[in-house]
Structure 1
Amino acid sequence: MKIKLITIFLVSVALASCTQSNEQKAQTLTKKYLDSTLNDAKSYEAVKFSKLDTLTESIDENSQYRNYEQVKDSLKTIADSLHNAILGAIVSSPSDTANLKHKADSIYSKQEKNLEDEKAFIEKFKGKPIGWVISHTYRAKNAMGAVVLSTNLFRFDQNLTKVTDVK
């Protein structure tokens, strides 16, 4: 019985040590990427990795936010048109002016409501995770053969299987 428990324990420890953490996966992908892109990969020397962080969508990429912006633009265009129409109607017909003013008031209240909703959305916004990001500082030879210190931001897909962007 003890032998079975010890065997199970050793097998589970061996399996656990074989799996890489997300941080290790990101560092491995970063090194592989640099190995294939540096001028002199043999001169590569890692200096520092930041902690791996979750990459989330920006608010500009969010469809609900874009909808608020489109509504805001549309309402502004309508309000500007009504404003110009009111200025023209003041001279020609007081009854048209009152009707246009009523429409303008309605548009202004819709604008105000949309802005309040958009502000509330922005304050609560937490982008959905779209990948991972890590900063890496390293030394390597450039095209002229001089060793330079570089820091880049590496972005990865959600499954940590590939580098998607480097800045």
Structure 2
Amino acid sequence: METLRPSTEEDLPFLREVYAASRAEELDQVEWPPGQREAFVRMQFDLQDAQYRGGNPDGSFDVVEVDGTPAGRLYVDRRPDDIRIIDIALLPRFRGAGIGGRLLQALLDEAAASRRTASIHVEVHNRAARLYERLGFRPAAERGLYRLMEWSAA
């Protein structure tokens, strides 16, 4: 069973691992000198984390746990009219088990109950877009490499 808990400073190494796993396919295309991949991942994670937190000061930044084991992250900004899913990512060994779908469905249920939309930015070539579409998200805007997808109960 998955649960959420607020991330802390002690979770930073784990959150970097989740970030690295989410970029592995892309990063595997480069031959890295010793230590350079890790330094790059740390720098990119730190920039992304600062951007996410700075742009969503009221957001919740949670660690996803499965049976008490850290499995991923779920970042959400609950806005007056919209539940913005800032990021959802799971370590590879937890993917494909329905965890992400259940977490997203809970957010959609919350959005419906509070009469809000739900939205997420997705990289255009991200395979997870199929999951979002199955859950009822629809493309709303193209922004370079990203597509804004929105869900509404109406």
Q: Same fold (TM over 0.5)?
A: no
Q: When you count helix as a share of all residues, which structure comes out higher?
A: 1
Higher relative contact order (CA 8 A, sep 6+): 1
How does the TM-score come out when normalised to structure 2? Answer: 0.22
How does the TM-score come out when normalised to structure 1? Answer: 0.21
